[in-house]
Every structure is written in C-alpha cells, then in structure tokens.
Amino acid sequence: MKQGENKMKRKIFLLIAAFLLVTQGSWVSGQFTPSEIAERAQWEEFLKTAEITGSKEIGEGVTKPYKLYLKKGDVESQAAWKNPHGIQLGYLEGWQYEIAAYQMDKLLGLNMIPPTVEREFNGKKGALQFWVTKEMSDLERMDKNIDIPKDAADGWEKMKYIARAFDSLIGNEDRTQQNILYTKDWRTILIDHSRAFRSSEKFTKQLMFGQNGITGNKPFRRLPRVFVEKIKALTFDSIKNAAGLYLEDKEIKAVLVRKNLLLKEIEEMIKEKGEDKVLY
C-alpha cells in the first residue's frame, strides 16, 4: 500500500511540477508535455475524491471562495472552492462556468486554466480549482511597476493576446488584472470565470476584446495558427461533449456566434497586415 501511495505521490508531484515549468518557445508545445497532459485526469480525480481536512475563507472577491486542504494517502494539496450563483452585485454568477471554462481550455489546448472540477462542500455543489502558487498577479505587477524580463517578453505578449481571444470566445466579462496570475517563470495563469458564457444580445453582437470590443480597442494582434484552427473546428456537438454538463444550449450557441465574430476579425487583420504578421 505504501509503495502505491508513493507512486501516486510522485505522479501528482510531477504534474504540479509540470504546471510550474518554464514554457518558453512555441505555443504549439503547450504548457504541458503530452505525457503530463495524459496524467491530468488523475489530478482531476484527486480533486474530486481527496479528503477535505480543513478549510478557511480566502477573503478576496465577491464570490466568497474558500481554500480547502486536501489529503489522499500521503498526498496533500490545496484548492479554491466557490459556488456563486444567480445575480450578485448586478452580475450573473455561476460556479458551473468555472468548470466549463476549464473544459473549453482543454478543448482548445490552451492549458492556461488550473484543473477545475465539481465538488460538494458544506452540503453545496461548487467548483474546486487547483491552488496555483503564483509569484504575483497582473495587478501586483502594475502596482509595483515591475517590468517583464526581456527573455520572457515575447511569451508574455503572446499569452496576453491568446487570453483576449479566449475571453472573447467564451464571453467572459470579468477579466481583471487581479485574476491574471504569473508564475515565477512568467507563465500566465487565468482564474475566475464565474461571469463567463454570457448569452444576451450584448455579448453576441460584439466581442469583449478586439478592434472594437466591449472593453475598447484591445486587439489580438498575433495568434497561434493551431489555436485559430481549433476555433474554426468548434461545433455545437464538440462544445456540448466537452462542457455540456455545465452549459445550457443557448450558452453554447452564443459561443458559436462569437466564434464567427472572432474569425471574421482575424480574417480582417490578415487582409490588412498579412497572414505572417498575424499568425505564427
């Protein structure tokens, strides 16, 4: 039994280490290697089944999240749990959107959102997300006037544009500097998606970001070819299969409407600047 627990501990350790690896270079290689991605389901299972040994209120945000302490065998870790739902401070909140965003992240091969699963706590269903050991948030970076290191600048900029495109696709109206996190090696991690997957007319007529986005003129500029191809391949069925447990049909249809708006804008950028200037 001890040997089996040690084996599991090693696998979990490798997965966590993979989450914190330096990922300079092409986006195509992703934030995980193929073997590490293959172990992601095991990490999700840990989040779903590990014993909750303690908890405390995080004290940040309007969704009242908790930090949960988890243990399975001799493996221990932490995760953030939240269950916002309904209208809060004038915004529609939904814990299920946290999981749907993670599933869309996997479907598109972004690997920017920490593992997130459904988990019951205090008799309520909610979203449980792996606790990221961050170096700082984008808000902290701005407040402290910290410059991006030269050797990380290109990767940081690419992730910024990818995040804008992803938020536009899923209709996330709550991307703030506080929920953009950086690891010590300047990888970008995205959290807080409880205000995503909007389906009202406002979010199907206009993208969140872009040349004429809801948030203003914040273009995508450069995007990976493989990412754009994955967006093109999205269908109702593919999204339903990936995130249908947590999205209504109208929310999936809204994603597909935004998909077309996003692809149209990318095509216009290509016509104006040339494909090699936009896609890499």
Spatial separation of the C-alpha atoms in residues 74 and 40, rounded to whole Å: 19
pLDDT tens figures, 3-17: 455 555 555 544 444
Quote the pLDDT of residue 39. 75
Residue 179, SS3?
A: helix
Residue 67, SS3?
A: strand
Alpha helix ranges (H) inside the chain? 2-19, 34-38, 40-49, 95-108, 138-143, 150-170, 202-205, 225-232, 236-243, 249-273, 275-278
pLDDT in single tens digits along all 280 residues of the chain: 444 555 555 555 444 444 444 333 344 334 555 665 777 888 899 999 999 999 999 976 666 799 999 999 999 999 999 999 998 888 999 999 999 999 999 999 998 999 999 999 999 999 999 998 889 999 999 999 999 999 999 999 999 999 999 999 999 999 999 999 998 888 899 999 999 999 999 999 999 999 999 999 999 999 999 999 999 999 999 999 999 999 999 999 999 999 999 999 999 999 999 999 999 9
pLDDT tens figures, 240-280: 999 999 999 999 999 999 999 999 999 999 999 999 999 99
Say which residues have a Cβ less than 8 Å from residue 212's Cβ, sequence separation at least 6. Answer: 206
Domain locations in the chain as residue ranges: 2-130, 136-278
Q: Which amino acid is at 258?
A: R
Q: What is the mean pLDDT of the chain?
A: 88
Quote the pLDDT of residue 89. 82
Query: Strand 75-82 to strand 136-137: parallel, antiparallel, or no bridges (unpaired)?
Result: unpaired
